[in-house]
């Protein structure tokens, strides 16, 4: 089932959680909603499920306007972060719940329900555990029961809220691989929420990076990694160095360097921020006019990389550099050495983007959950 989201708006009191979200999700796609807490990713997921009434906009499942449907009618398989298993029911009753609450004429008979539940248990590799209670299961097993319960209603779409958030690292890795495989086998359109970029990039066909109630970028792993559209995406996926620079007369010059680095589009004229990742910086020749000079203040060898902290001579700012190691072409860097660097890859952003955010009244000390509970009481 494909999903169209158009202009979706949501407020919690004065907090603008979703500011006009547009998104198309293809049938059978595995999509990740990625962002920090407060970015609106969980709110968007809950909006798709119908758990949050919208203030505006449209959600369509195929040709059906889902906003006109109640949660019960939407038939979404929702897996909650803490699983929300019914503690007083066995695994079997938990999975059968969705079928057994159907109106009498739509409800399958007991034998059919039983058969379906057992198939699902096999699918999630929990055969033989149907008589257990949730308290008797491990975290990973609970996760699978929650998934089986969501699949039992043959949902239009599968929604997972931080599916691996409550698990330890080892189980998390196993389940990730398994979920990928399950998705291939079942083919459900699947959307999951995560704040873990590695998880999103590894698992999803496409990643939606969200921040402060808007979508910053939608793309494949390669797209969001190689071509971040906004400073936020750059920041969120890794720890870039931000170097101040000037664009004048179609030429970019880094502040503190004597010569021009590169040609620049005329649209970027003015003060700019140059985003470059630690591994995109290269050691420059001594006579390179575009390079920045600095002093090595920290060296750290990690595996095949040499990580340097370099204090720039001009501004005094410390930037991070990752060099391959051992690198036959270069000397072994020591603290106190003078080094000249130039970015081999970078991206320009005008120095104005931040001012807009300050006026919206967003309070970064509150998480979405707090806003949600505030607006309830």
Partner 1 sequence: MSLDTAPDSPVRLPFEPLQKTNSVINEPPLVRGLLIGAALAFLSLFLLLPLLSVFVEALRKGLGAYFAAFGDPETLEAIKLTVIAALIAVPLNLVFGLSAAWAITKFEFRGKQFLITLIDLPFSVSPVVAGLVFVLIFGAQGWAQPWFGENVGRVLFSTPGIVLATVFVTFPFIARELIPLMQEQGTEDEQAALSLGATGWQTFTRVTLPNIKWALLYGVLLCNARAMGEFGAVSVVSGHIRGLTNTLPLHIEILYNEYQFVSAFAVASLLALLAMVTLALKSFLEWRYADQLAATRRH
Partner 2 sequence: MTAVDRPGRRRSRRTLPGFTPTLGFTLFYLGLIVLIPLAGVFFKASGLGFAGIGQVIGSERVLAALRLSFGAAAIAALLNAVFGSIVAWVFVRYEFPGKRLFDAFIDLPFALPTAVAGIALTALYSENGWIGSVLAHAGLKVAYTPLGIVVAMTFIGLPFVVRTVEPVLREVERDLEEAAATLGARRWQTVLRVIAPAVFPALVTGFALAFARAVGEYGSVIFIAGNFPLVSEIAPLLIIIKLEEFDYPGATAVAATMLVLSFLLLLTINLLQAWTRKK
Contact residues for partner 1, defined by CB under 8 A: 11, 13-14, 16, 50-53, 55, 70-71, 360-361, 375
Report the residue number, 123 or 153, with the smaller CB distance to partner 1: 153
Give the Cα separation of 135 and 154 in Å (integer).
26
Q: Which does 317 bind (CB under 5 to 8 A by kind): partner 2, partner 1, none?
A: none
- The SS3 of residue 184 is helix
Phi, psi of 201 (to 5 degrees): -70, -30
What's the closest the beta carbon of residue 46 comes to partner 1, in angstroms?
10
Q: Which does 300 bind (CB under 5 to 8 A by kind): partner 2, partner 1, none?
A: none
Give the Cα separation of 48 and 31 in Å (integer).
13
Report the residue number, 270 or 364, with the smaller CB distance to partner 1: 364
Report the residue number, 55 or 93, with the smaller CB distance to partner 1: 55
Q: Which does 334 bind (CB under 5 to 8 A by kind): partner 1, partner 2, none?
A: none
Report the residue number, 84 or 268, with the smaller CB distance to partner 2: 84
What's the closest the beta carbon of residue 45 comes to partner 1, in angstroms?
14
Q: Which does 205 bind (CB under 5 to 8 A by kind): partner 2, partner 1, none?
A: none
Q: How many residues does the chain have?
A: 377
What's the closest the beta carbon of residue 155 comes to partner 2, in angstroms?
8
DSSP letter (8 states) at residue 163? T
In the complex, which residues of this chain contact partner 2 (CB under 8 A)? 49-51, 71-72, 74-78, 80-82, 84, 86-89, 97-98, 101-102, 149-150, 152-153, 377
Ramachandran region, residue 348 (left: φ > 0; alpha: ψ -120 to 50; beta: rest): beta
DSSP letter (8 states) at residue 333? P
What's the closest the beta carbon of residue 89 comes to partner 2, in angstroms?
8
Strands 270-276 and 241-248: antiparallel
Report the residue number, 134 or 228, with the smaller CB distance to partner 2: 134
Q: Which does 84 bind (CB under 5 to 8 A by kind): partner 2, partner 1, none?
A: partner 2
Q: Which does 126 bind (CB under 5 to 8 A by kind): partner 2, partner 1, none?
A: none
What's the closest the beta carbon of residue 80 comes to partner 2, in angstroms?
5
Q: Which does 13 bind (CB under 5 to 8 A by kind): partner 1, partner 2, none?
A: partner 1
Helix (H) and strand (E) counts for the chain? 11, 20
Q: Which does 91 bind (CB under 5 to 8 A by kind): partner 2, partner 1, none?
A: none
Distance (Å) of CA 228 to CA 210, 219, 224, 231: 13, 10, 5, 7
Tokens of 178: 């398994």
Q: State the burial class of residue 286 (Cβ atoms within 10 Å of its Cβ: 0-12, 13-18, 19+).
A: exposed
What's the closest the beta carbon of residue 228 comes to partner 2, in angstroms?
34
Give the Cα separation of 1 and 60 in Å (integer).
10
Q: Which does 26 bind (CB under 5 to 8 A by kind): partner 1, partner 2, none?
A: none
DSSP string across 39-94: SSHHHHHHHHHTSS--SEEEEEETTEEGGGS-HHHH-EEEE-TT----TTS-HHHH
Give the Cα separation of 158 and 150 in Å (integer).
7
Report the residue number, 160 or 312, with the smaller CB distance to partner 2: 160
What's the closest the beta carbon of residue 236 comes to partner 2, in angstroms?
27
What's the closest the beta carbon of residue 111 comes to partner 2, in angstroms?
20
Give the Cα separation of 186 and 130 in Å (integer).
21
What's the closest the beta carbon of residue 72 comes to partner 2, in angstroms?
5
Give the Cα separation of 21 and 45 in Å (integer).
12
The owner of tokens 């990742």 is 277
């Amino acid at each position: 089932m494909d999903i169209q989201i158009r202009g979706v708006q949501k407020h919690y009191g004065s907090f603008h959680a979703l500011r006009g979200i547009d998104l198309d999700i293809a049938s059978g796609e595995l999509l990740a909603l990625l962002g920090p807490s407060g970015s609106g990713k969980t709110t968007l997921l809950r909006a798709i499920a119908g758990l949050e009434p919208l203030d505006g906009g449209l959600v369509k499942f195929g040709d059906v306007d889902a906003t006109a449907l109640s949660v019960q009618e939407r038939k979404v398989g929702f897996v909650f972060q803490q699983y929300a298993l019914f503690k007083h029911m066995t695994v079997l009753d938990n999975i059968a719940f969705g079928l057994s609450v159907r109106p009498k004429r739509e409800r399958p008979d007991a034998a059919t329900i039983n058969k379906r539940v057992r198939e699902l248990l096999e699918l999630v590799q929990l055969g033989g555990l149907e008589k257990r209670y949730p308290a008797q299961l491990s975290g990973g097993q609970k996760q699978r029961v929650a998934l089986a319960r969501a699949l039992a209603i043959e949902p239009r779409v599968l929604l997972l809220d931080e599916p691996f958030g409550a698990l330890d690292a080892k189980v998390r890795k196993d389940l990730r691989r398994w979920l990928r495989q399950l998705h291939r086998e079942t083919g459900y359109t699947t959307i999951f929420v995560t704040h873990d970029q590695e998880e999103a990039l590894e698992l999803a066909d496409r990643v939606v990076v969200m921040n402060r109630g808007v979508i910053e970028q939608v793309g494949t792993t390669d797209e969001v990694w190689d071509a971040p559209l906004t400073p936020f995406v750059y920041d969120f996926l890794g720890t870039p160095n931000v170097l101040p620079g000037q664009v004048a007369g179609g030429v970019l010059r880094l502040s503190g360097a004597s010569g021009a680095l590169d040609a620049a589009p005329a649209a970027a004229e003015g003060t700019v921020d140059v985003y470059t990742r630690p591994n995109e910086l290269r050691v420059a020749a001594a006579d390179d006019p575009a390079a920045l000079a600095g002093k090595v203040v920290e060296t750290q060898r990690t595996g095949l990389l040499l990580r340097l902290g370099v204090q720039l001579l001009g501004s005094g700012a410390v930037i991070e550099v990752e060099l391959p190691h051992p690198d036959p072409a270069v000397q072994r860097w020591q603290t106190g050495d003078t080094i000249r660097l130039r970015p081999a890859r970078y991206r320009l952003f005008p120095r104005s983007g931040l001012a807009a955010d300050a006026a919206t009244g967003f309070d970064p000390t509150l998480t979405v959950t707090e806003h949600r509970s505030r607006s309830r009481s």
